[in-house]
């Protein structure tokens, strides 16, 4: 696993791109998390280390303290990296049962390409300032 927490997202997704651009200036600590495209070689190498049921999923992943999370569990944990006025929402979202959160996540994921325009190029390789 990586030493730095990593958010793996679809590099060809407008929602993922907008999410990374939104999150980056609002992080509690700059460079506390890095954004990586799932399609990248490094992203695929990380996914290959996940449990088998995680590897087969087509979703967003978060590696936090060496442990992988996916779907809504990854998404809401992203709030913990953000400034206090975003991270205070974490407990409210956390009390929603996981199956309900994942249903909402899947609805958004299924419609993301209709709502958000695909980026011309993937921003993730050059997005992080190491």
Residue 129 binned pLDDT confidence (cut-offs 50, 70, 90) = very low
Task: Inform me whether the pLDDT recorded for 35 exceeds 50.
Answer: yes
Please indicate whether residue 114 or residue 123 has the higher confidence score (pLDDT): 114
Task: Inform me whether the pLDDT recorded for 128 exceeds 60.
Answer: no
pLDDT in tens, 49-79: 998 888 888 889 999 999 999 999 999 999 9
Cα distances from 97 to residues 25, 75, 93, in angstroms, run 30, 14, 9
Residue 82 binned pLDDT confidence (cut-offs 50, 70, 90) = very high
Query: For residues 23, 26, 30 and 35, what is the CA-based torsion angle, rounded to 10 degrees?
Result: 0
Quick check: 8 and 46 in contact, CB under 8 A? yes
Quick check: 122 and 11 in contact, CB under 8 A? yes
> CB count, 10 Å around CB of 39?
14
């Amino acid at each position: 696993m990586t030493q730095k927490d990593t958010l793996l997202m679809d590099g060809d997704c407008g929602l993922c791109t907008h999410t990374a651009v939104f999150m980056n200036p609002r992080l509690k600590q700059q460079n506390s998390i890095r954004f990586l495209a799932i399609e990248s070689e490094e992203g695929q190498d990380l996914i290959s280390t996940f449990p088998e049921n995680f590897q087969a999923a087509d979703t967003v992943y978060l590696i936090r303290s060496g442990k992988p999370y996916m779907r809504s569990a990854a998404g809401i944990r992203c709030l913990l990296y953000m400034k206090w006025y975003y991270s205070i929402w974490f407990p409210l979202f956390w009390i929603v049962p996981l199956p309900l959160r994942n249903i909402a996540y899947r609805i958004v994921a299924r419609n993301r390409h209709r709502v958000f325009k695909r980026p011309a190029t993937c921003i993730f390789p050059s997005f992080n300032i190491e």
